[in-house]
Amino acid sequence: MNDKKLADMIMEKGIDNVNIAMLDESKRKGILTHVANAYIKKNNISEAVRLFAMARNKERLIELFDWLFEQRRYKQAALAIIPTDDKERQNRIAEICLREKLFESASNVYSAMGNDVMVKFISENFPLEDFES
């Protein structure tokens, strides 16, 4: 099966329903990145983030984070930066999410950073469900 057909199959059936274990790391990363980019065009940011993370494409996750951050789409930006190890960007978005009352997103970022003190602070002081939609 060629790469385009495999990418189309992933778009149609979803990554959970297509076995890509037989692909080498480079081909897997390329196909997953291609499909993730297609999801961005369809504004399915959460699925794009998931595929970039599966592809271990941290560079593309950071680019996506920067693009979302510029647009003030903080909840989605937080989702994009969590799979990376970019502590500076993670800390910046966590602080902004707190300020914007996106408590669950802030907590998720702090958790990814291993900042248990802030996770506990948020859970004890702010409702995680009330302000996010």
The pLDDT tens digits for 54-90 are 999 999 999 999 999 999 999 999 999 999 999 999 9
My answer on whether 41 and 91 are in the same domain is no
Number of independent structural domains in the chain: 2
Report the amino acid identity of residue 51.
L
62 found inside a domain: no
Say what percent of the chain tops pLDDT 90.
Answer: 77
61 found inside a domain: no
Gap between the Cα atoms of 117 and 123, Å rounded: 10
My answer on whether 78 and 47 are in the same domain is no
My answer on whether 77 and 127 are in the same domain is yes
pLDDT above 90 for 128: no
Read off φ and ψ for residue 96, nearest 5 degrees.
-65, -40
Q: Is the pTM above the cut of 0.95?
A: no
63 found inside a domain: no
pLDDT band at 129 (very low <50, low <70, confident <90, very high): low
- 87 Ramachandran zone, left/alpha/beta (phi>0; psi -120 to 50): alpha
Strands (E), the chain: none
pLDDT confidence of residue 1: 63
64 found inside a domain: no
pLDDT band at 133 (very low <50, low <70, confident <90, very high): very low
Gap between the Cα atoms of 119 and 73, Å rounded: 21
My answer on whether 125 and 92 are in the same domain is yes
What residues make up the domain containing 101?
A: 72-133
65 found inside a domain: no
79 found inside a domain: yes
